[in-house]
Amino acid sequence: MGQGALDVVGVGNAIVDILAHVDEAFLVKHDLVKGTMKLIDADEAERMYMASPPAIEASGGSVANTMVGIASLGGASAYIGKVRDDQLGDVFAHDMRAIGVEFKGEHAAAGPPTARSLVFVTPDAQRTMSTYLGACADLGPDDIAADVITRAKITYLEGYLWDRPEGQAALRKAATLAREAGRKVAFSLSDPFCVERHRCEFRALVESEVDILFANEREIMSLYEVPHFDDALQRIQGQCEVAALTRSENGSVIVAGDRVHVIDASRPGEVVDTTGAGDLYAAGVLFGLSCGHDLATCARLGAIAAAEVISHFGARPEASLATLIRQELD
Amino acid sequence: MGQGALDVVGVGNAIVDILAHVDEAFLVKHDLVKGTMKLIDADEAERMYMASPPAIEASGGSVANTMVGIASLGGASAYIGKVRDDQLGDVFAHDMRAIGVEFKGEHAAAGPPTARSLVFVTPDAQRTMSTYLGACADLGPDDIAADVITRAKITYLEGYLWDRPEGQAALRKAATLAREAGRKVAFSLSDPFCVERHRCEFRALVESEVDILFANEREIMSLYEVPHFDDALQRIQGQCEVAALTRSENGSVIVAGDRVHVIDASRPGEVVDTTGAGDLYAAGVLFGLSCGHDLATCARLGAIAAAEVISHFGARPEASLATLIRQELD
């Protein structure tokens, strides 16, 4: 892939997932709240890893998963993230490039190792994450290359970046560059706990910097501190150009101006692991938007991509999404 | 109850339900399509009744169930329907009046007997109906008393009325009287097969006569012959003042002008029999509208009323709905 036009460039935490099946008791014992992500330090990462059952490693990171999804859908995507020049960093970069994502990450020669997230999958297919950010902690505004941002129709940023001051500066720089170039800014609220940590700032971001918002129902209800999904839906309407709200098996609601679309979930044969469902939904929607599809079609592409990724273990598609969406686009 | 103001008056088929538990094989054997209502004649009603397992009788009829729900919610409701001066007719009238519905039905001294519907409930809590209309077939424009219609804020009419020319004339007269008096007209599409029988007329009614529409997702998708719920949602928006669309366990979507509300279902402990779910949802929404509640609250009242009625056998509430909704309205 050369220096041509991009559909989407993503900026996020470059993380290798370490996936293990556990039972509910494991979550209780390690004080983990199901369905959320918590940040841990190097020591705790080591302790948790020792305690976890045999696992598999797979390149991950929410925005990185989305960029891989866009490539699998047939779109042109790039990714800005930070890994270390270690084995996991090589694996991460290889996996991105192998599927056709333009990887703009630097392999730091010093500092903490490549980030990893312990992803515990319970029998109900829910995932609970403990993340050691490692090399991600060094991602800052200097990593945001203006030429990459301006080549892309959409710049996609994740709420997790807000957990570090350098990440906040990187996010703001990317958003500003994109807006100044007349491009769109997309943003994911990432996680209900992430919303709790940064509620006030996220509300301001959504109002002033974000064109396309992604959130699941717990995140959007937390953003506005309301008891019902519909309350949040009424609040978000008009706040940004497009808001795509996911509701697990209840599908998604996509809002733009005074149009509201209510889209069913696509149902895979079996739900094996919900890791990556939101990431791949975002891939479908962003790919659809960059192709100029109508909003309902965008949401259905998201639903199809999400259904593929939850039908197997791991947060990246195993089938060609371009093939899976062909029928929808006919 | 005197001749005072009414929240809602309903016009519909006055039917006694005969409820029996059957297995899937019973439906297949008798050529019944699950989840639908079919009309049968007196002979077939007799044959089906003989073939059915032991049953219980309960006053029913879609609009009548809704009027009972409104009374249980604390509203003032009246009902116009036709029964015969037979035992089932007496039971029907007694049940309406006992809960406080002003029953305007005439007990015909001649003609076919009071209507009955054989309601077959399968183990998945779905209901399939075979209805013998009996005395209902005589309901016509002469039964629509102008003073009752004008006393009510809302006149609620059911699509089933359209199955007979006299019923069509009664429906049109009621709608005209209500509109001329500055009242609202509410209408239920009743059943996907009913929509198939009268699609063109129902579209025209929705456009020109109906202020408040009730439909489940199969009905509204059939009305517009579209493959996705969202397609129907986009079509109905702007067609009538309020459209309340039910989606079973996926809750409901209520549309008014450019506002769309997405409301969760209320979940009972156990789903025993879905008979009456749509009728009681309509009761909650109509009661809420007549009280001047906002649309999201109206839909939640509908969800609460529906959850009560599916938690037990039969299409009428067993608990006081006024008590159940107290928390929502606080």
Interchain contact B232–A (C-beta under 8 A): no
- DSSP-derived letter for residue B249 is G
Please report which confidence band the pLDDT of residue A239 belongs to, taking 50, 70 and 90 as the band edges. Answer: very high
Those residues whose C-beta lies under 8 Å from the C-beta of residue B1, and which sit 6 or more positions away, are B76, B100, B102
Interchain contact B167–A (C-beta under 8 A): no
Question: What are the tens digits of pLDDT across the range B273-289?
Answer: 788 999 999 999 999 99
Q: Any idea which of A31-40, A140-149, B73-82, B230-239 has the lowest mean pLDDT? A: A31-40
Minimum distance, in Å, between the CA of residue A275 and any CA atom of chain B: 23
Interchain contact B229–A (C-beta under 8 A): yes
Minimum distance, in Å, between the CA of residue B253 and any CA atom of chain A: 8
Interchain contact A230–B (C-beta under 8 A): yes
Of B234, B250, B296, the CB nearest to A230: B296
Over chain B, what is the mean pLDDT?
Answer: 93
Residues 275-304 of B with CB under 8 A from A: 296, 299-300
Interchain contact B231–A (C-beta under 8 A): yes
CA distance A251 to A265: 4
Question: What are the tens digits of pLDDT across the range B113-148?
Answer: 999 999 999 999 888 999 999 999 889 999 999 999
Cβ contact, residue pair B262, A234, below 8 Å: no
Question: How high is the pLDDT of residue A105?
Answer: 75
In SS3 terms, chain A reads as: CCCCCEEEEEECCCEEEEEEECCHHHHHHCCCCCCCEEECCHHHHHHHHHHCCCCEEEEECHHHHHHHHHHHHCCCEEEECEEECCHHHHHHHHHHHHCCCEECCEEECCCCCCEEEEEEECCCCCEEEEEECHHHHHCCHHHCCHHHHHHEEEEEEEHHHHHCHHHHHHHHHHHHHHHHCCCEEEEECCCHHHHHHCHHHHHHHHHHCCCEEEEEHHHHHHHHCCCCHHHHHHHHCCCCCEEEEECHHHCEEEEECCEEEEECCCCCCCCCCCCCHHHHHHHHHHHHHHHCCCHHHHHHHHHHHHHHHCCCCCCCCCCCHHHHCHHHHC
Coil, strand or helix at B157: strand
Report CA B138 to chain centroid distance, whole Å.
Answer: 19
Please report which confidence band the pLDDT of residue B35 belongs to, taking 50, 70 and 90 as the band edges. Answer: confident
Cβ contact, residue pair B253, A234, below 8 Å: no
Question: How high is the pLDDT of residue B103?
Answer: 93
Question: What are the tens digits of pLDDT across the range A137-170?
Answer: 889 999 999 999 999 999 999 999 999 999 999 9
Interchain contact B251–A (C-beta under 8 A): yes
Q: Of A17-26, B2-11, B285-294, give the range with the top mean pLDDT.
A: B285-294
Of B234, B258, B262, the CB nearest to A230: B262
Cβ contact, residue pair A261, B229, below 8 Å: no
| Interval B41-49 mean pLDDT | 89
Cα angle B224, B229, B235; round to 5: 45
Interchain contact A265–B (C-beta under 8 A): no
Cβ contact, residue pair A261, B233, below 8 Å: yes
Question: What are the tens digits of pLDDT across the range A88-141?
Answer: 898 899 889 989 999 987 788 899 999 999 999 999 988 899 999 999 988 999
Minimum distance, in Å, between the CA of residue A41 and any CA atom of chain B: 39
Of B262, B299, B300, the CB nearest to A233: B262
B6-12+62-112+134-329 — its CATH code? 3.40.1190.20
Please report which confidence band the pLDDT of residue B315 belongs to, taking 50, 70 and 90 as the band edges. Answer: confident
Interchain contact B258–A (C-beta under 8 A): yes
- List the single residue in B with minimal CA-CA distance to A250: B250
Cβ contact, residue pair A228, B296, below 8 Å: yes
Cβ contact, residue pair B229, A262, below 8 Å: yes
Interchain contact B264–A (C-beta under 8 A): yes
Question: How high is the pLDDT of residue B268?
Answer: 77
Question: How high is the pLDDT of residue A11?
Answer: 97
- CB neighbour burial string for B221-258, b if at least 16 within 10 angstroms, e if fewer: bbbbeeebbbbbbbbbbebbbbbbbbbbebbbbbbbee
Cβ contact, residue pair B261, A229, below 8 Å: no
Q: Are A63 and A188 in contact (CB under 8 A)?
A: yes
pLDDT at B326 over 50: yes
Question: What are the tens digits of pLDDT across the range A18-72?
Answer: 888 999 999 999 999 998 888 899 899 888 888 888 888 888 899 999 999 999 9
Residues 36-95 of A with CB under 8 A from B: none
Cβ contact, residue pair B234, A258, below 8 Å: no
Residues of B with Cβ-Cβ distance to A228 under 8 angstroms: 263-264, 296, 300
Residues of A with Cβ-Cβ distance to B238 under 8 angstroms: none
Please report which confidence band the pLDDT of residue B53 belongs to, taking 50, 70 and 90 as the band edges. Answer: confident
Of A258, A263, A264, the CB nearest to B258: A258
Interchain contact B218–A (C-beta under 8 A): no
Residues of A with Cβ-Cβ distance to B300 under 8 angstroms: 228
Please report which confidence band the pLDDT of residue B1 belongs to, taking 50, 70 and 90 as the band edges. Answer: very low
Cβ contact, residue pair A262, B261, below 8 Å: no
CB pairs under 8 A between A and B: 48
Q: When comparing pLDDT for A35 and B228, which is higher?
A: B228
Interchain contact B260–A (C-beta under 8 A): yes
CATH topology of domain A6-12+61-111+135-329: UDP-N-acetylmuramoyl-L-alanine:D-glutamate ligase (3.40.1190)
Tokens 């029913």 locate to B60
Minimum distance, in Å, between the CA of residue B263 and any CA atom of chain A: 6
The residue extents of the domains of chain B are 6-12+62-112+134-329
Question: What are the tens digits of pLDDT across the range A274-284?
Answer: 889 999 999 99
Cβ contact, residue pair B250, A253, below 8 Å: no
Residue A312: how many CB atoms within 10 A of its CB?
17
Residues of A with Cβ-Cβ distance to B296 under 8 angstroms: 228, 230-231, 234
CA distance A185 to A176: 9
* Largest separation between any pair of C-alpha atoms in chain B: 52
Residues of B with Cβ-Cβ distance to A231 under 8 angstroms: 296
